Chains A and B, each alone.
Chain A
């Protein structure tokens, strides 16, 4: 593939990812390949050959590798391996890695909640109110959150996930890998009192 062709192809593929990110969606390699094949712009004039360069490769693996190669060089596109094992693309300026991970985990509520709790405990650090998971983009029903927490309690992979109850009755979740229980309780109380400490 000539450098000019590669540049055009990269841009076309990037546009697919950018548009999806703009709409709050992750992009798989298959999404990109389908869009390139179906899209009008690469079936016009010289662009057609670029798409064919990929489509005519002998295996899906090779096509994916070729696509990965062209997208890897784009400064506005990032990728990561999703829970399914697939490579997922997003444009971080439009769809951050944080949000992308949440989207990827939405079908695995245990992992979704656990990783969010762990990240918050490790990075900020803070416990998170259980109601966080009822709101977008998590959108878990209270009953589902209850089932997730019950499942975590007996699953050896989630024994670090714990909770503390503030004097207001609000429940906050944290990871014992990153927060001591006493400090988590302090931070929960602090979070509950922020609106009384203007």
Chain B
């Protein structure tokens, strides 16, 4: 391990759409301290985008950034972070990032680039052509107005079959805050599509013929990759199957490990039957079937295959074929997706004939996936659907929409749970048509801003799952008590953090989880059984910090935080341990620059603290505790009257959460009173210049001057 030039592609591509000029920078020289991904994006925004810049302003920038491990053979490495001033952050847009998997990250690195910084605005619609060192802006006039499917197809025909296209649909073109960028059919980054639209950038097509160098010993690398594969479970790193198997000590009916011998991918031609031991490494890809998890047993017969990202054996984007789609709706028979995107269609309905795992739900999901991924609409992690239902049930649409528009909506189909309703609704949103389309496409901030609905109404209603700043909770107290709440206070959009929830949902019995937790975070008391929470302690604060730092690290390294971290495993012989140092071991071998776990976590802290500084700078706020790290009212209530810390409630205690925030701030090196990073913390993390900038704005606790 003598050379230190592994992992990185080496260059960052900068494209000025206003002038058409392109240039490159050395990745390690300029951005090495923040690794890549979100870290690179935050640094660009800090250095180049002034406070007050709006998401669709000329001065906003859009940073597509992969990481050191993207494009290598590391499992689950296909991530690209797209960082910008995030449009759906309400009432003021602040830093945020959308994240997509697929093949884009690897292709970009094989072309020689770790990131693409997009700035300025093209005079007319263009798409960005990248083929290794050849970079061109090409006319996209003929593609403007078309969906992502057509744009991807046409660009692919022009470039060749081995390209990857990341494109926006009509929603992005029309500057919808809830617009996505989509690559590889279904891999979407939420919230950032409108920024592309504002820049008149329809798509990026990338083709790379190069490779990546692994700096470390190749045999060591291969061994480590095989080890990593050996500790993989199924989707979300659920490490036990959902059913008893001869080889398993444990099982969990709630596990996303649903594949087992005897199940069939029934719509494959010919059908594929799962055989052998599902615990074998060569059977990892059969463990996950997202459609079967979300839509039940019926999904197996419609399953074509598992699709997914570069080098990821999990294949969480299940491809489904449902012939009824062509005959009943005149749409494509095939669609693919996972998690919230898979459920895009069915979540618009309060009820569906046959329930959430019936045929209508399946058809609604097929329609939703196909249309949302074509028009490029983001669900805001399911919030657009919850907002729609609440606005309809509360009579807000009837009161606020014009009578002609209201009457034009086929409410009878919605009430009947007819999936065909989506063929009317989704284009309204994607095209921002009428007042309904305009308002819903802005996210929760839409009804707040346009119709004078108070944010407090949403915060008080547990049914909305609304958290703050226009976005919902994302694995909060329903999964993980104080840790979940802390994590959900930190970002300017939904938290997208899975480090904590992948552990508490991993399927192991509580005693095993507590044993592992004791080793990882210093005490078995750092984890509770869901809904049976104990009071805050310092080990929970450490776990919350660990979860956030690992999430940020994954976003910087190009690996998937929907899958990682890998601190638990299916391996009984390892006592179900995973490896808490896996990321640093992979990083060290890939780059040739040795960093231990603490060292790499320190980089994660640096990046996360930079996100904090950016948020504070753009808000102009020192007291983040009072102004930013907010918790909705529903977290502190329980309609049954159950008291906090009693079994069977996720109700939290205000005083305990106040203590939790203080403990968290302390473990982060932030001021307990304000939640602001201290000058010493900026210095310690290698952010001295950022600290000086914050001090100059009186946004560092020591330099605060009260009026």
Chain A interface (Cβ < 8 Å from any Cβ of B): 21, 24, 92-99, 102, 123-126, 128-129, 132, 135-137, 168, 180, 182-183, 185-187, 190-191, 194-198
Which of B30-38, B250-258, B402-410, B414-422 sits within the interface? B250-258
B681 contacts A by Cβ under 8 Å: no
Do A198 and B339 touch (CB < 8 A)?
Answer: yes
The residues of A that contact B572 with a CB separation of less than 8 Å are 92-93
A94-B247, A168-B355 known; A180+B647 contact, CB < 8 A: yes
B248–A198 contact, CB under 8 A?
no
Identify A102's interface contact among B244, B250, B343, B529, CB under 8 A.
Answer: B244
Assess A186 versus B649: contact at CB under 8 Å? Given A24-B246, A125-B529.
Answer: yes
Residues on the A chain within 8 Å of B511, using CB: 123
Q: Which one, B253, B339, B478, contacts A132 given CB within 8 A? A: B253
A137 to B243, CA, bound (A): 8
Please report the C-alpha to C-alpha distance between residue A128 and residue B250 in the assembled complex, in whole angstroms. Answer: 13
B246 to chain A, nearest CB (A): 5
Q: Digitize B290-324: 1 where CB-to-A-CB distance is under 8 Å, 0 elsewhere.
A: 00011000000000000000000000000000000
Q: At the interface, yes or no: B14 with Cβ under 8 Å from chain A? A: no
B557-607 residues with Cβ-Cβ distance < 8 A to A are 572-573
Given A94-B247, A183-B648: 14 more A-B contacts, CB < 8 Å: A93-B247, A96-B249, A98-B249, A99-B247, A124-B252, A182-B647, A183-B531, A185-B648, A186-B531, A186-B647, A190-B478, A191-B254, A197-B475, A198-B382
- Tell me the bound Cα distance from A186 to B478 in angstroms: 11
The 8 A CB mask of B507-529 against A (1 = contact, 0 = none) is: 00111000000000000000001
Residue of B nearest to A25 (CB): B246
9 A-B pairs with CB atoms under 8 Å apart are A96-B247, A96-B248, A125-B510, A136-B243, A186-B649, A187-B648, A195-B357, A197-B478, A198-B338
Please name the residue on chain B nearest to A101 by beta carbon: B244
Query: Quick check: B246 and A96 within 8 Å, CB to CB?
Result: yes
Knowing A124-B510, A183-B531, A186-B649, say if A198 contacts B294 (CB, 8 Å): yes
Contacts of B649 in A (CB 8 A): 186
* Residues of B contacting A128 in the complex (Cβ-Cβ under 8 angstroms): 253
**Residue in A94, A124, A137, A195 whose beta carbon sits within 8 Å of that of B293 in the complex:** A195
User: Does B340 lie at the interface of the complex (its beta carbon under 8 Å from any beta carbon of A)?
Assistant: yes
**B246 near A123: Cβ-Cβ < 8 Å:** no
State whether the Cβ of B59 lies closer than 8 Å to any Cβ in chain A: no
**B52 interfacial contact with A, CB 8 Å:** no
Residue in B246, B251, B343, B573 whose beta carbon sits within 8 Å of that of A94 in the complex: B246
User: B356 near A: Cβ within 8 Å?
Assistant: yes
| Residues on the B chain within 8 Å of A102, using CB | 244
CB atoms of B509 and A124 under 8 A apart: yes
Q: Which residue of B lies closest to A197 (CB)?
A: B478
B647 contacts across to A, CB distance below 8 A: 180, 182-183, 186
Report B280 CB to chain A, min CB distance, Å. 13
B244 touches A137 (CB 8 A): yes
Residues in A with CB closer than 8 Å to B249 are: 92, 96-98
Question: Which residues of B are found within 8 Å of A137, using beta-carbon distances?
Answer: 244
A15 nearest CB across to chain B (Å): 17
User: Which of A95, A136, A183, A195 neighbours the largest number of chain B CB atoms within 10 Å of its CB?
Assistant: A195
Q: Answer yes or no: B211 CB below 8 A from chain A CBs.
A: no
A95 and B246 within 8 A (CB): yes
User: Majority SS of interface residues in chain B?
Assistant: loop
Q: Which residue of B lies closest to A183 (CB)?
A: B647
Chain A residues near B262 (CB, 8 Å)?
136
How many residues on chain B are close to A (CB under 8 Å)?
A: 41
**CA A95 to CA B572, docked complex, whole Å:** 12
Q: How far is the CA of A12 from the CA of B246 in the complex (A)?
A: 22
Which chain B residue shows the least CB distance to A168? Answer: B355
> What mask results when residues 328 to 363 of chain B are scored 1 for a CB within 8 Å of chain A, else 0?
000000000011100100010000000111000000
Q: Which 9 A-B pairs have the closest CB atoms?
A: A186-B648, A183-B647, A198-B339, A123-B509, A182-B648, A183-B648, A96-B249, A95-B246, A195-B294
CA distance A182 to B511 in the complex (A): 21
Any chain A CB within 8 A of the CB of B620?
A: no
Known contacts A183-B648, A186-B647, A195-B293: A21-B246 contact under CB 8 Å: yes
Residues of B within 8 A of A187 (CB): 530-531, 648
Q: Which residues of B contact A124 (CB under 8 A)?
A: 252, 509-510
**Which residues of B lie under 8 Å from residue A182 when comparing CB positions?**
642, 647-648
What residue in chain A is nearest B346 (Cβ atoms)?
A196
User: Do B294 and A183 have beta carbons less than 8 Å apart?
Assistant: no
Please state if B343 and A198 are interface contacts (CB–CB under 8 Å): yes
Distance, CA A187 to CA B251, complexed state (A):
16
User: Complex formed: what's the CA distance from A187 to B253 in Å?
Assistant: 12
Q: Which A residues lie within 8 Å of B294 (CB)?
A: 195, 198
Asked if A195 and B356 sit within 8 Å, CB to CB, the answer is: yes
- Does B400 sit at the interface, judged by CB under 8 A? no
Complexed CA–CA distance, A182 and B293 (Å): 26
- Tell yes or no: B28 within 8 A of A by CB: no
- Complex Cα spacing A198 to B347, Å: 12
Q: Chain A residues near B247: list those with CB within 8 A.
A: 93-96, 99
Does B537 sit at the interface, judged by CB under 8 A?
no
Q: Which residues of B contact A24 (CB under 8 A)?
A: 246
Q: Decide yes or no: A99 and B245 within 8 Å by CB, A123-B509, A132-B253, A198-B343 being known contacts.
A: yes
Task: Give the residue name and chain of the B residue nearest to A90 (CB).
Answer: B246
Residue of B nearest to A137 (CB): B244
Chain B nearest CB, measured from A166 CB (Å) = 12
Chain B's nearest CB lies how many Å from the CB of A97? 7
CA distance A185 to B649 in the complex (A): 10
- Tell me, in angstroms, the Cα distance from A95 to B244 when the chains sit together: 11
Q: How far is the CB of A16 from chain B (nearest CB, A)?
A: 17
Per the 8 Å Cβ criterion, residues 523-545 of B in contact with A are 529-532
* Residues in chain A near residue B293, CB distance under 8 A: 195
The interface residues of chain B lying within 8 Å CB-to-CB of A136 are 243-244, 262
Residue among B246, B248, B251 with the most chain A CB within 10 A?
Answer: B246
List of A residues within 8 angstroms of B343 by Cβ: 196, 198
Bound CA span A128–B251, Å: 11
> Which B residues are CB-close (under 8 A) to A190?
478, 530-531
Q: How far is the CA of A28 from the CA of B382 in the complex (A)?
A: 54
| CB neighbours of A197 from chain B (8 A) | 475, 478-479
Bound Cα distance A195, B479 (Å): 13
Q: How far is the CB of A198 from chain B (nearest CB, A)?
A: 4
Is the CB–CB distance between B510 and A123 below 8 Å? yes
Instruction: For chain B, residues 204 to 257, give those with C-beta under 8 angstroms from any C-beta of chain A.
Output: 243-254
Q: Are B531 and A99 in contact (CB under 8 A)?
A: no
Closest to B262 in A: A136
- Residue from A93, A95, A102, A197 having most chain B Cβ neighbours under 10 A: A197
Cβ proximity bits B149-163 to A, threshold 8 Å, 1 near / 0 not:
000000000000000
CB-nearest residue of chain B to A99? B246
Q: Give A45 to B249 CA distance when docked, in angstroms.
A: 40
Give the chain A neighbours of B254 by CB distance below 8 A: 126, 191, 194
**With A and B bound together, what is the CA distance between A168 and B358 in angstroms?**
13
* CB-defined contacts of B248 to chain A, threshold 8 Å: 96, 98-99
The residue on B at minimum CB distance from A102 is B244
Residues of A within 8 A of B252 (CB): 124, 126
Question: A173: shortest Cβ distance to chain B, in Å?
Answer: 12
Q: How far is it, in angstroms, between the C-alpha of A137 and the C-alpha of B251 when the chains are bound?
A: 12
Residue ID in chain A nearest B501 by CB atoms: A197
Contacts A123-B511, A186-B649; is A135 near B243 (CB within 8 Å)?
A: yes
